[in-house]
Amino acid sequence: MLPFKLIYHDGYDLNLGSHVFPSQKYRLIRDRLLTDGFAEPADFLEPRPAADEDLMLVHQRGWVQRLKNGTLDYLELIKLEIPYSQKMVQGFWLAAGGTILAARRALQDGVGFNIGGGFHHAFPGHGEGFCAINDVAVAIRKLQQEKCIERAMVVDVDVHDGNGTAGVFAGDPTVFTLSIHQFHNYPAIKPPSTIDIDLEDGAGDEEYLEKLGAACRRGMSEFRPQLVAYVAGADPYREDQLGGLSLTIDGLKRRDRLVFDLAREHGVPVVVTLAGGYAINVEDTVTIHSNTAKAAAEVLVRK
């Protein structure tokens, strides 16, 4: 048995068809972890969809209702960049429920791992960049509402700036946001996070790890979060179709271990979401995400 639970639902697949976002990756990750012998069926928990009221801790009521009822206008659909369907909507509600559940499990087990989520481009009143509901922000607000935590730190390592998350928490002293991303990449407008690490095209393993480590140490030491939300994008990979950094698969696993090690050092539980990953070979994306779970287990077992 694993020292933490893996949160997964077949409904995480957004059913996008031939889209650059391979949302079938969630099922493939689950299957890989089972096939590798890393996990057993008993290691998985199935989430319920988030309640509308939970989503509205972050999102405007009108956005939640239009999304749910299929009444988005043309410009909203264009900005979202994925085809609309009720299965897509169900996937976002489930992802948010999964991240809430994973955050609760993190407080219990030290790590909570959602095989999904990380939709960091969603703003309170609109979605963009394949992201309709900001599940990470929703989970933080839910745990704050329940008085489980007061302070949270977001460590966003997706290749794209976490603009929605930065927008949600702008000016909020209870949430520390860190985004390390390729500067010359989506989105064009990048609202300021607490710490932004803007990487030039082609940055590789060593530069990335050095800058991420310094920023994480600063944030955890000075802010003293009670929960770290780790947005573990696979798209800094050197063969990602939507990225322009040069990290290797080994470098990405070192990245994961770095974050988990620092969180353990500071006694902070970690909730993991997976965010982006668009490798030319989808199996590489599956490997990178699976390695994140393996890195978490390696760090917990060393306790």
Give me the active site residues, please: 121
pLDDT averaged over every residue in the chain = 97
Q: Which residues of 51-77 are buried (b: 16+ CB within 10 A; e: fewer)?
A: eeebbbbbbeeebbebbeeeebeeebe
For residue 290, what are its two tokens? 């699976």
> Residue 155 corresponds to which amino acid?
V
Lateral strand order in the sheet of 227-231: 44-45, 6-7, 111-114, 270-273, 227-231, 152-156, 175-182, 195-199
How many other CB atoms are found less than 10 A from the CB of residue 254? 18
3-class DSSP state of 71: coil
Tokens 């057993």, located at residue: 40
At 300 the pLDDT is: 86
Tokens 């009720």, located at residue: 86
- For residue 298, give Cα distances in angstroms to 20, 111, 253, 291: 31, 12, 11, 10
Rounded to an integer, what distance in angstroms lies between the CA atom of residue 195 and that of residue 186? 18
pLDDT in tens, 247-273: 999 999 999 999 999 999 999 999 999
- pLDDT of 302 higher than 70: no
Residues 6+ away with beta carbon under 8 Å from 215: 178, 180, 195, 197
- Please name which of 172, 25, 38, 45 lies closest in space to residue 99, comparing C-alpha atoms: 45
Q: Domain 6-301's class?
A: alpha beta
- pLDDT of 303 higher than 60: no
pLDDT in tens, 188-198: 999 999 999 99
pLDDT in tens, 86-141: 999 999 999 999 999 999 999 999 999 999 999 999 999 999 999 999 999 999 99
> Residue 206 corresponds to which amino acid?
E
pLDDT in tens, 3-47: 999 999 999 999 898 999 999 999 999 999 999 999 999 999 999
